[in-house]
Amino acid sequence: DVVMTQSPLSLPVTLGQPASISCRSSQSLVYSDGNTYLNWFQQRPGQSPRRLIYKVSNRDFGVPDRFSGSGSGTDFTLKISRVEAEDVGVYYCMQGTHWPWTFGQGTKVEIK
């Protein structure tokens, strides 16, 4: 199985400051069709997960542009340009290139 490793696992951030989460996969996530199926999900406290980013860098409808995704191959990053209070929660990377699909351990973002 593809192992997804996130860092850090806990991320205290000051409001208005940037935040960055790393996600590394144990093998390349480039699929035979040329796409890289690396997604990012946000789970606010007490809520269901919500997809933020798909195929590395595409923001879902309604996701603020302070969220951005980047990376390639086995190394990916989610960035929040200026953290707001509503961004508190756990963020997961997830790969959909290889079966079984696998998630990272999650990174808990909290306000300092």
For other proteins, the binding residues in 9-28 under the rule CB under 8 A are none
The reply on whether position 105 binds other proteins by CB under 8 A is yes
Number of residues counted as binding other proteins (CB under 8 A): 24
Give the Cα separation of 10 and 6 in Å (integer).
10
Q: Rounding to the nearest 10 degrees, give the CA dihedral for residues 110, 72, 58, 82.
A: 30
Stretch that binds other proteins, among 16-24, 42-50, 66-74, 80-88 (CB under 8 A): 42-50
- 42 is an interface residue for other proteins by CB under 8 A: no
Per CB under 8 A, the segment of 11-19, 39-47, 68-76, 81-89 that binds other proteins is: 39-47
Q: What is the dihedral of CA 54, 56, 62, 63, to 10 degrees?
A: 130
Tokens for 27, please give them.
């093998």
Interstrand relation of 107-111 and 10-13 (parallel, antiparallel or unpaired): parallel
Contact with other proteins (CB under 8 A) among 26, 30, 60, 77: 60
- Should residue 103 be labelled a site residue for other proteins when binding is judged by CB under 8 A? yes
Asked if 3 and 94 touch (Cβ cutoff 8 Å), the reply is no
Give the binding site for other proteins (CB under 8 A). 1, 35, 37, 39, 41, 43, 48-51, 54, 60, 90, 92, 94, 96, 99-106
